[in-house]
Structure 1
Amino acid sequence: MLRRTLFERIGQARRALGAVATAAALIATPLFADDATAQSRIKDIVDVEGVRDNMLIGYGLVVGLNGTGDSLDSAVFTQESLIGMLERLGVNARDDNLDADNVAAVMVTATLPPFARQGSRIDVNVSALGDADSLLGGLLLVTPLLGADGEVYAVAQGSLAVGGFEAQGAAETVVKGVPTAGRIANGAIIEREIPFELEGMRSVKLALRNPDFTTARRVSRAINAFIGVETSRVLDPTTVQVTLPESYGGRLVEMLTDIEQLRVEPDLMAKVVIDEQSGVIVMGENVRISRVAIAQGNLTIRITETPQVSQPQPFSNTGETVEVPRTEIEIDEDEDRRLGVLETGVSLQELVNGLNALGVGPRDMITILQAIKASGALQAEIEVM
């Protein structure tokens, strides 16, 4: 009987411990989920050396417009381009006065992606260069696209897709979007490749998009921990150099595929970004404020003129109708505003709550932040856009 009671107690203790372990796991799960969501893939915060886009640009003509093209009298470059194109096709147009309004000179731009192969297609953007009203319904003629070295890397041609439009009558004009800009999906064929052999490299450099010493070190440590050997090192706040280990047998692409999926937590600077034109303020979570007192108020004087008309009684032979001025002056000194005190080391949320409690708008908040920075109480960098 005693042995049976002892076994029952042991079983109850085990079941209690199991319940405690299950509850602890359920409580710990959201914490680990939050840590995971705070991390970013290395793929999303770095660029690989040599894997980059290249900008292309070209000059061309768009035809087939419904009377919304360039005026050849004012757009001389459009007229000369049209004459030159016709001459290459065997048409002599220099003896006649050209008066076409369905042709527009345009600039064509495109982005050549990395490792783009000859014969593949890319999208192009087309924008009017002259005084054309709309490119709706236009057709871009063959346009070479040049790189920064002056070489032709692609050739564009095709019908434009324009999102905006313009409609006008005798007394009103309606414009939606930008009718003088369009896009041609897969409108250019790549004619020249940019040589770059990634597979033959024995080391590669990773460039952080937001340079930071701490983030670069975390990336290097994550790579070394995954591979198991010291294969990466930090060169500067932007660059992490990774050497191809023997375990990958010269397969650099496979190593990059594995590395870019690793997760690290980027470290952020304490920075306040201000756009004075739109009144937008963006503050990082590491922004801290030393002990400081803030008072904000404006003197508002409002003058309202409501003139009235004074006239004599009906059928009266004396007096005349005159305008009598009536002026009302209101003065608001914001006496309800109070002095607010922010303690040392307040967080971003506390700073925002304190300024909102004072009734501070975005425009005044910009001035307050700049004043706090000038006093030395703002432990962050202010960047004005």
Structure 2
Amino acid sequence: MRIAARTMWSAAAALLALSVPLAPAAAQQVPLKALGRFDGWRDNALIGYGLVTGLAGSGDTRRSAMTRQALRNVLSRLGTAVTDDQISSRNVAVVIVTARLQPSANVGDKMDAVISSVGDARSLAGGTLLMTPLLGPDQKPYALAQGPLVAGGHNFESDLNQQQRNYPTTALLQGGATVEVPVDSQVLQPQGEIGFLLSDPGFSTAQRIAEAVNGRFGPGIAWVKNADEVKIRYRGAPDATAAFLAQLEDVSVEPATAPRVVINERTGTIVAGGGVMISSVSISQGDIKVTVTGERQASQPSFIDGFASDVRSLVVTNTKLEVSEDAGEAVIRFPNTAVADLVEGLARARVTTRRTISILQAIKAAGALHADIIVQ
């Protein structure tokens, strides 16, 4: 360290040299269900096009032709015929309804739905969704949605004064969607195999999963197909598949952790695994501050015996340039250590989080940080 540094940096570096490096966190075993899902066990997206009524003048305006058409269609199905000129209410809004159907659902099950305005409505607060079929990707109806909406905001306007809270053009229909078609996901494939898909693909973790399953149920039961999938052979009766899957979910596996450093520049957050290492590196940190200030002065001429049209004020700008160098400039050397030790040392040196992020990126560019940096 530079001898000229009897500063806060040198004190922090001395403390860092005396500190004991942090030990990497010991890997722990987790159940198999925490590492991924079985192939075929997935949610299904549903979507519908509906109409919300009962709005207190905050619905779509007459400029929205699709709202008038949708309202005429609904009223005609109910036995009432109206013309386009007879529709002038702002108590109606056209919406898109979305929901997620669980992998296994029975007729009559309830689920939530999200309602979003597609017109020029100001708010959906206080509205009621009329019966809306929810379609799957195959364009077949799987559920019906209807009921009062819960909006987490409001938007009121009067005499060019407007007050808004949150986003009232989106609302929630809690338990208002009813399943009309049963769904039963098939996990067991026709070949008698079960596929397990990893949430975080990796050959090391996939191999450990296969070894753990073989150790629990016998050799040859599981094998690695790819970094993101492990195949498991099922040899039992069809009616015992659920019991076998329950036992699979409880198999303990020690996942392999990928060396990563996650950085969020917006919030100044740094997250790194305890085993992420850096090679021997020297860090130089110092500031040069350049300040430019400008002062403007006006020279106002004096007038005698009247006003002269060809005389104007003169504006003069004086610029002042200052360059200052931070006295706390220092060089800190780190031996082979973990990122956690580096971040702790920089924190003791009172280095800001954003500067620490820049230092980590520079160390990565120098080839001394042996991990992937993910910037969010």
1:197-208 maps to which residues of 2 (within 5 A)?
Answer: 197-198=186-187, 202-208=192-198
Return the match for 1:371 from 325, 349, 362.
362
Partner of 2:87, secondary structure, is coil
Check if 1:242 corresponds to 2:232. yes
Helix, strand or coil for the counterpart of 1:241?
strand
Structure with higher strand content: 2
Structure 1 pair 180–363 and aligned structure 2 pair: CA distance change class (3 A): same
Work out which of the two has the higher radius of gyration on C-alpha atoms and give 1 or 2.
Answer: 1
Cα deviation, 1:295-339, whole Å, max 9, x if unaligned, reads 233332345678999xxxxxxxxxxxxx99998865442231211
Identity rate of aligned residues, in percent?
38
Counterpart contact for 2:41–2:186, Cα < 8 Å: no
How big is the shift at 1:125? 0.8
Could you list the per-position Cα deviations for residues 331-366 of structure 1 after superposition, in whole angstroms to 9, with x for gaps in the alignment?
44223121122222x112212023324543333333
8 Å CA contact 2:47, 2:135 repeated in 1: yes
Alpha-carbon distance in 2 for matches of 1:325, 1:283: 51
2:101 is equivalent to residue 148 of structure 1: no
Alignment counterpart, residue 285 of structure 1, candidates 255, 274, 281:
274
- Secondary structure of the equivalent of 1:242? strand
CA contact (8 A) 2:39 2:187 kept: no
**For 1:219-272, what per-residue CA distance to the aligned partner results, in whole angstroms no more than 9, with x for missing partners?**
2222222224431111111111111245x7861210111121122221111112
3-state secondary structure, aligned to 1:353: helix
Query: Contact between 1:137 and 1:159, CA under 8 Å: does it hold in 2?
Result: yes
The answer to whether the 8 Å contact 1:272/1:281 transfers is yes
**TM superposition shift of 1:161:** 1.2
Which residue pairs with 1:89 in the alignment? Answer: 78
Query: Which amino acid counterpart does residue 255 of structure 2 have in structure 1?
Result: P
Counterparts of 1:229 and 1:249 in 2: how far apart (Å)?
A: 21
Equivalent in the alignment of 1:98: 87
Paired residue secondary structure (1:366): helix
1:178-327 residue pairs with structure 2 within 5 A? 178-194=167-183, 196-198=185-187, 202-246=192-236, 251-303=240-292
In the alignment, the residues of structure 1 paired with residue 29 and residue 275 of structure 2 have an alpha-carbon distance, to the nearest angstrom, of 16
Counterparts of 1:344-363 in structure 2 under 5 Å? 344=336, 346-363=337-354
Query: For the residues of structure 2 that align with 1:38 and 1:175, how far apart are their CA atoms?
Result: 48
The Cα of 1:209 is off from its aligned counterpart by: 0.7
User: How does the TM-score come out when normalised to structure 2?
Assistant: 0.79
TM-score w.r.t. length of structure 1:
0.78
Are 1:143 and 1:155, in contact at CA under 8 Å, matched by a contact in 2?
yes
Deviations along 1:172-198, one digit per CA (max 9) or x if unpaired, are 644332222111122111122345444
Which amino acid in the other structure matches residue 354 of structure 2?
R
> Residue 244 and residue 99 in structure 1: after superposition, are their counterparts in 2 closer, same or farther (change >3 A)?
same
- Partner letter of residue 193 of structure 1? P
Does the CA-based 8 Å contact 1:340-1:354 persist in structure 2? Answer: no
Task: Name the residue aligned to 2:101.
Answer: 112
Matches of 2:182 and 2:173, distance apart in 1: 21
Structure 1, residues 145-183: CA drift from partner, whole Å, max 9, x if none?
111122211111110011222345658644332222111
CA distance in 2, matches of 1:367, 1:199: 50
2:330 alignment partner, SS class: coil
Q: Which runs of 5+ in 2 are unaligned?
A: 1-24, 299-314
Q: Which has the higher contact order (CA 8 A, sep 6+)?
A: 2
Contact 2:27 2:254 in 1 (8 A): no
CA positional deviation for 1:208: 0.9
Asked if the contact 1:273/1:283 (under 8 Å) is kept, the reply is yes
Shift of 1:379: 0.6
Map 1:3-82 to 2 at 5 A. Answer: 38-73=28-63, 75-82=64-71
Q: Is the 8 A contact 1:199 1:251 kept in 2?
A: no
**CA RMSD, aligned part only?**
3.2
